[in-house]
Structure 1
Amino acid sequence: MYSFPGKPKNQRVKRALQKREPKIVENDKHALFLKGGRTSETIAEALKDLYSLKKPLATMYKKKNIMRPFEDETSMEFFSHKCDASLFLFGSHSKKRPNNLVLGRLYDSHVLDMMELGIEKFTGIKQFQGNKCSMGTKPCLVFAGEAFDEDKEHRRLKSLLIDFFRGPVVPNIRLSGLEHVMMFTAAGGKVYLRSYRILLKKSGSRTPRVELDEMGPSLDLVVRRTKLSSDDLYKRSTRVPKAAKIGKKKNVTRDAFGTQHGQIHMQRQNYEKLQLRKVRALKRKSDTKTNTEEGTSPKTEEGTSPKTVKSTDVEMTSD
């Protein structure tokens, strides 16, 4: 592991070292793109296209570097530590291994996993017509094929591809922000990489009609060599700190989409003793209704009926 010798000389170096210290919530993973001592036109174009999909979380070295990652890992670890990159993609070309890509990641400044992929067929972004996605777009990753679930090497390759192309970590995604889809298909001992642009068109309803337009790059890959870490080291590298884990709360659960659901327990209430609000207008209405049903006038005493008094019915007497 590479470390700074002694104490930092100034505050700028101290701040730079503090950024590289372990954190509870790590930063977005940075990728390093390198060329070997000998490359082909296919490798050069493939590195450029993949670099354009990874930007801005990527650094590309234009000069050639003579190294063999499977034989000596120190050079790759040095460049990765220099750029503070935990992912790397190395391209080379030789007669024995033509159009070769080495995809890998690091843990604690040491190489954790490395997989060598050979390009059998390549179609660049320039050969596809139409608009392309903007830089920094977070892609949707789709994996198809039983090998990604059954084979150990393909399972590790799936994890490596997710780390490499997942992009920045965001809490929410809006519908119009889904612009890019990357699909990986494992079939016949090969891995097919396809890149599409999502088009949202009018459908006559609130939900738009979704169409996919291939925008490149398109690669047909075959796995050549692998260098995987042990199960114990891999388990230690994927361990989540205790402070970063979300504590369990009583009667609170989350579904597959991260939506929080809660459950409230209440005692049984006695609705007979429940005090309701008495509305005066409704009370008068009910009293009038009951009196009319009984055949009595609302302003007379019970058992009597209203009587009209005339002046002729009154007799005047005198003492």
Structure 2
Amino acid sequence: MATKRASNEIKRAKTQKGRRFLIAREPKVVENAKTTMFIRGGKTSEIVTQALKDLCALKKPNCVLFKRKNILRPFQDETSIEFFSNKNDASMFIFGSHSKKRPHNLVMGRCFDGHILDMIELGIENFTPLSKFKTEKCASGTKPCLLFVGEAFESDPEYMRLKNLLIDIFRGPDVEKVRLQGLEHVMQFTELDGKIFFRSYRILLKKSGTRTPRVELEEMGPSMDLVKRRVKLASDDLWKRAVKKPKNLKPKKTKNISHDAFGTKLANIHMKRQDYSKLQTRKMKGLKRQADKTDGRAKKRRTSV
């Protein structure tokens, strides 16, 4: 009689392709670029559908767009989002829906260790799609400059977590250096009177007659006004676990050496107290030390004899 496999038994790969797949899913010291899922709800409006497509275009190539409708309620049941996250190896998600109670709705969130970490619900107002702006667009995969304007992003806990979430979604892969021509895209989030104004610009470098070019911003879309609705934040203990850095990535502390905000290396040097009487100075006749009186008397006695 065949025995049933235990549910907690670890599955091992039987092929080389399966081993590579499991290795790619294992935790890493240096994480890969985070993938974002763009999910359509069971009922969506034309504004929500177009907003998901435009945001996905800004996020390419690290994104997955769900073309089929999915009847989900993230704040009531999180299991479906967690299933899609594990299946697509995507830790970030943006879910779009539309209802009479919550029209033109976007839910932004992220997962940690296979479970939902935090979610923030936003309502769309005054939406202008990417296609309405008849300007040249940035290349796919461009790393954007993120700007946050508003006191709430620095003082309100919910807006501070929203800022952290938006940076996590749109910041792109980590790079050591960025050339000047690579700075093409600016995404600005402005908080004013309880609303968040999202604008996207393309950077133009014009001739200025000097070595430093003249910078101009050209709006390329999309443009939308967002209103904060429901919020679900992680507990303090779970948040500490999620943001904890491995020991290998922490910089080793060197005694008496520090760095300032601009990366300049500073050091403290400890020296023994110097004897200034033995310090070599410029030899001048007026600065020569006079002979002792006893030595002078001895010389006179020698000459008299």
Q: Same fold judged by TM-score > 0.5? A: yes
Query: Counterparts of 1:79-228 in structure 2 under 5 Å?
Result: 79-228=84-233
Distance of 1:107 and 1:4 partners within structure 2: 22
Instruction: Give secondary structure in 2 for the equivalent of 1:225.
Output: strand
Query: Counterparts of 1:267-278 in structure 2 under 5 Å?
Result: 272=280
Distance of 1:3 and 1:228 partners within structure 2: 29
- The aligned counterpart of 1:305 is none
Query: Counterparts of 1:297-316 in structure 2 under 5 Å?
Result: none
Distance of 1:188 and 1:83 partners within structure 2: 38
Distance of 2:133 and 2:150 partners within structure 1: 26
Instruction: Give secondary structure in 2 for the equivalent of 1:45.
Output: helix
> Quick one: which amino acid aligns to residue 28 of structure 1?
A
Q: CA deviation at 1:3?
A: 8.8
Q: CA deviation at 1:257?
A: 3.4
Q: Deviations over 1:268-302 (max 9, x none)?
A: 7987499xxxxxxxxxxxxxxxxxxxxxxxxxxxx
Distance of 1:271 and 1:19 partners within structure 2: 65
> Quick one: which amino acid aligns to residue 114 of structure 1?
M
Instruction: Give secondary structure in 2 for the equivalent of 1:249.
Output: coil
Equivalent in 45, 64, 80 of residue 75 of structure 1: 80
Does residue 28 of structure 1 match 2:30? no
> Quick one: which amino acid aligns to residue 254 of structure 1?
H
Distance of 1:102 and 1:258 partners within structure 2: 37
More moved, 15-24 vs 83-92:
15-24
In structure 2, relative to structure 1, the CA distance for the partners of 1:272 and 1:194 (3 Å cut) is same
> Quick one: which amino acid aligns to residue 229 of structure 1?
A
- The aligned counterpart of 1:40 is 45
In structure 2, relative to structure 1, the CA distance for the partners of 1:129 and 1:22 (3 Å cut) is same
Q: CA deviation at 1:15?
A: 1.1
Uncovered stretches (5+) of structure 1, i.e. residues with no partner? 275-319
Identity of aligned residues (%): 60
The two structures have a TM-score, normalised by structure 1, of: 0.81
Uncovered stretches (5+) of structure 2, i.e. residues with no partner? 1-6, 283-305
- The aligned counterpart of 1:307 is none
Q: CA deviation at 1:231?
A: 1.3
What is the number of residues matched between the two proteins? Answer: 273
Distance of 2:49 and 2:264 partners within structure 1: 44
Instruction: Give secondary structure in 1 for the equivalent of 2:175.
Output: coil
In structure 2, relative to structure 1, the CA distance for the partners of 1:256 and 1:85 (3 Å cut) is same
- The aligned counterpart of 1:284 is none
Q: Deviations over 1:200-221 (max 9, x none)?
A: 1111111111110000011100
Does residue 250 of structure 1 match 2:286? no
- The aligned counterpart of 1:282 is none
Distance of 2:203 and 2:237 partners within structure 1: 40
Q: CA deviation at 1:9?
A: 1.9
Distance of 1:187 and 1:4 partners within structure 2: 52
Instruction: Give secondary structure in 2 for the equivalent of 1:80.
Output: helix
> Quick one: which amino acid aligns to residue 211 of structure 1?
E
Q: Deviations over 1:4-35 (max 9, x none)?
A: 95211211111111111111111111111110
Instruction: Give secondary structure in 2 for the equivalent of 1:224.
Output: strand
Q: CA deviation at 1:265?
A: 6.3
